Amino acid sequence: MTAVDIAISLNQGFPCPNCKARASWHATGRSAVRANSTLYWFRCETCEERVVVKLVPLGARDADGRHELEREFQTLRKLRGIFPPNSHHGALIAENYLELDGHAAMVTRLFPGKDLVRYARSADREELGRMFHSAGALLRSLHDGCPDGYQLRELDVGPKLAYLEETYRRILLRNSRTRRAFLRLRESADAVGLSPLRVSWAHGDYKPENVLYDGRKTILLDTKLDIRGAVVYDLASFLNHVYIAACSFRSGALRNNNQFVEAAFLSGYGDLSAAEITALRWAQLYFMLCYFGAHHKRGFPLNLYAYWRLAPLIEALAKQVA
């Protein structure tokens, strides 16, 4: 299905959400192919409003992608009730879900921002502080918005250690850095697992690449809200991906301000207890060991990347685990 075909379908049944004009959509820019979807951009000729159409095939072999798109649409609609319209934090505005000639399509308004990793490449220290503080506040608003409220639960350290043992133990024991970190994780597990921690609905993949920023507003992407988990898991995921992004060639600003960025993010989230900080470091180390093992299993050059980039991060995290 081409952008022209989509524009024709939109013009037949989807008026502009801004000016209500009909038959005014025109494709702009190139499409972007994702793992199981394709993105297309359109502009209203009457008022210049722009929307993005996310397209997924409806074939039987693509059923999972279709169901994911339906859940994403419903989640975005639900998030409208959490973030006030004029807030500096929010999610994409989902306008419609429809079927177009053998495809499922979700229409969202365009947010003209960049993900935090790309934005950080040209940001100064002050801007880095604002954007990562805002990312922390955004996550806190998401957790606070859980309709069930916060519950208290001990961290599931046992199953996580068992997973590492079964899946990556041999890989982790081969390298001195990962061996020491793995042993440290096991030694500290009992103490970490004793403290009840806040549980809320979880983003599941909260990372800088899933947060958009335009200099004023911060928007989250790709959340499903169909699982519950300790809030420290979303925090750990985000901070680990910041560390990994800082290792890339074009991320000198993140690399040179790593501790400052972490402090800004955690300050934006706010109100973490000592037990949650301890559990956060434990979760960071666990996830980083998983990343290392997964990269190692995929062979060269990811094996080399694991030793070169991830092992030093693992060593640094191990020193922070109480």
How would you write 216-280 as a 3-class SS string?
Answer: CCEEECCCCCCCEEEHHHHHHHHHHHHHHHHCCCCCHHHHHCHHHHHHHHHHHHCCCCHHHHHHH
Please give the structure tokens belonging to residue 70: 């339906």
Query: Could you tell me the CATH number of the domain that includes residue 197?
Result: 3.90.1200.10
**pLDDT tens digits for range 226-266:** 889 999 999 999 999 999 999 887 888 999 999 999 999 99
Last residue of a domain, one of 58, 80, 109: 109
Helical (H) or strand (E) element with 159: helix 157-174
| Count of all residues that appear for the chain in the document | 322
Return the structure tokens found at 43. 């502009």
Same domain assignment for residues 142 and 58: no
Kindly state the average pLDDT of the residues 43-65. Answer: 86
Mean pLDDT of 123-152: 96
Question: Domain check: are 88 and 222 in the same one?
Answer: no
Q: What is the pLDDT of residue 293?
A: 96
Q: What is the pLDDT of residue 102?
A: 86
CA 270 from centre of chain: 19
Amino acid at 275: A
Give the domain extent around 163. 114-318
| 278-305 tens-digit pLDDT | 999 999 999 999 999 999 998 888 888 8
Angle between helices 258-269 and 231-246 (to 10 degrees): 160
pLDDT at 24: 93
Q: What is the dihedral of CA 118, 119, 122, 123, to 10 degrees?
A: -140
Domain with residue 39: its CATH number is: 3.30.200.20
CB burial readout 169-184, b (16+ within 10 A) else e? eebbeebebbeebbeb
- The dihedrals phi and psi of 288, each to the nearest 5 degrees, come to -65, -35
pLDDT number for residue 317: 96
What are 199's two structure tokens? 């549980």
The b-or-e profile of 290-302 (16+ CB within 10 A means b, else e) is bbbbebbeeeeee
Residues 55, 150 within the same domain: no
Q: What is the pLDDT of residue 1?
A: 83
Q: CA-to-CA distance for 280 and 249, rounded, in angstroms?
A: 27
Q: Is 195 found in the same domain as 157?
A: yes
Give me the mean pLDDT over the 303-318 stretch. Answer: 92
Using the 3D structure, point to which of 109, 139, 173 is the last residue of a domain: 109
| 101 shares its domain with 33 | yes
pLDDT at 60 over 90: no
Whole-number pLDDT of residue 61? 61
Examine the fold and report which residue of 41, 76, 109 is the final residue of a domain before the chain moves on: 109
pLDDT of residue 64: 73
- 71 and 139 assigned to the same domain: no
User: Mean pLDDT, the chain, as a whole number?
Assistant: 93
With cut-offs at 50, 70 and 90, classify the pLDDT of residue 62. low
Q: Total structural domains in the chain?
A: 2
Tell me, yes or no, whether 75 and 102 share the same domain: yes
